[in-house]
Chains A and B, each alone.
Chain A
Amino acid sequence: MVPLSPYRSDRQYARLETYRRLGLADGTWAAEQFNLRVHVSQGGPEGAETRACQIWETVDRLPLQIKDLLRNVIDEVRLDSQESFPSDTLGSWRDGTMRINQDWSLIPALRDPGWHRDLGYDLLRATLAHETGHALVEDPRGGIRLRDAVALIAASGWLPHPLDDAVPYGPVGRQVSTLSAYYLKRLREVDSSWDGELSLGSPALPSSAQLDRDVMRDVRASTRHRTKARGSLGLQGSEQLLRRLRHADPGRLVRDLADCGLVLEDVDAALRRRRGISFYAEDAVSETPAEIFRCIHVPYTRAEHSRPALLEGERVLLEPWRTADRAIGARRPALTPERPWESLQLVRRGVGRELGR
């Protein structure tokens, strides 16, 4: 039984164009259609206003599930200046707030005239989709189960070095279900509070940074500073692991694998059975579910080739929403300024305060 998604909205969305035609601000559209508080930093660079317009135009063209998430999980969108982000950052999500860097013109790489003209739009769309994926997976009011998050990690080619742990290279590793059950069992040995039935965003579970620390072999220094060392599954992305194995002395590698009861061909087959869905998904296990969500809805880079991860993503991230869609049925018409009674209801609910009415 697939649980119903709490994020499925029961209404359609009016187009941004409708609001613009009536002379209303883009922020009014965002507030009415998505229940969003909107904050735009003052004193941005030249063109910052245009940039804000582009952001709403991009939101207008997002797939329906992402719009539902924006409406039901995100409370506030902030268009903040470059200085408030680490370098080269396009956007972020935390605690119901999505922040978008409004000064992409200051990112040196985007000044390269050689990039195609739609690159900025593609990147913005990918950023919005990825950060919304985090909200779906980790929002404390809902989020997916840890068991399902681990299945997404297993389906994305995260594996231990075969000399550290040979189990995933045997029968256990052939199916995503058995591999993820094995990872979850080991994770609970590291810390029994990793309860597979709880939402990843549940306050009863350790943080997503601690998940990285407990699962990955290599984590950044900043993550190490904020987490506890208590053993690790030692998983690596398939690209990183292949790179490590390629650099090993072939003869010695074959001998060491034999000592563990493995042969090189089996290790190679296990590594290629499921691959990382993108570079981003291999940065950290806590990034993998959000990146799968992004790849399903907004395929940006064409190097993505991990079919098992996409299939698992369809099951975990999309199917509950689709099931709700089928169960709830037709959506109500979009709320628009041309429907004054419903606009009045919005004002009574307090959204009007955000609109300056």
Chain B
Amino acid sequence: MEQRFRLLASGGRVVAEAWGFPVQLTGEPELCRRIRDHLQSSVVVLGQSLDPHTGERGTRLRILEPGAPGWLATCLARTAQELGLHLTELPLSGG
């Protein structure tokens, strides 16, 4: 089962779908081109830092490279926000 996402315009109209890596995109061609522009680079997220000697915990910078777990969802969430779209993930059973 592959992780699949839908991008919806206002009113719930499906305008694009994205899945896999390299990312497969279907939908309105101009929109897919603009979405693809956002799917080229790595993204910065924050994560836990743990000093194994002292146990001190802190905040660490994490870079999600294209294709890494969570990278597509993060990129698409940011893209959807920028383009004014709503992002949904399709259910396990395929939807």
Contact = CB atoms under 8 A, between A and B. Distances in A.
Interface of A: 85-94, 99, 107, 109-110, 114-115, 119, 123, 126-127, 130-131, 134, 208-209, 220-223, 225-226, 239, 242-243, 245-248, 250, 264-265, 267-268, 271-272, 278-280, 283-284, 286-287, 300-303, 305
B45 A86 contact: no
B24 interface: no
B73 A303 contact: yes
A287 B48 contact: yes
Interface of B: 1-3, 41, 44-52, 55-64, 69-70, 73-74, 77-78, 81, 89, 91-93
Contacts of B50: 86, 220, 222-223
Contact of A280 (B59, B73, B81, B89): B59
Contacts of A223: 50
B55 to A, nearest CB: 6
A208 to B, nearest CB: 8
Given A222-B50, A268-B91, A303-B73, A246 B1 contact: yes
Nearest to B53: A222
Given A114-B41, A268-B91, A302-B78, A91 B61 contact: no
Contacts of A280: 45-48, 59
Given A85-B51, A123-B46, A223-B50, 15 more contacts: A86-B50, A88-B49, A90-B46, A92-B57, A109-B61, A114-B41, A246-B2, A264-B92, A272-B89, A301-B74, A301-B78, A302-B78, A302-B81, A303-B45, A303-B78
Contact of B59 (A90, A109, A222, A303): A90
B52 A110 contact: no
B48 A85 contact: no
A191 to B, nearest CB: 19
Contact of A131 (B59, B92, B93): B59
Contacts of B51: 85-86
Contact of A242 (B45, B46, B61, B92): B92
Nearest to A279: B45
B91 A265 contact: yes
Contacts, number: 128
Nearest to A245: B92
Given A109-B44, A268-B93, A303-B78, A222 B52 contact: yes
A126 B59 contact: yes
A278 B46 contact: yes
A209 to B, nearest CB: 6
Contacts of B93: 264-265, 268
B49 A85 contact: yes
B46 A279 contact: yes
Nearest to B64: A279
B72 to A, nearest CB: 11
Q: Which 7 A-B pairs have the closest CB atoms?
A: A92-B58, A222-B52, A283-B48, A303-B77, A89-B49, A246-B1, A268-B91
A200 to B, nearest CB: 14
A223 B58 CA distance: 14
Nearest to A249: B1
B61 A110 contact: yes
A89 B59 contact: yes
A300 B58 CA distance: 17
B67 to A, nearest CB: 13
Given A109-B44, A264-B93, A300-B46, A88 B60 contact: yes
Contacts of A300: 46
B4 to A, nearest CB: 10
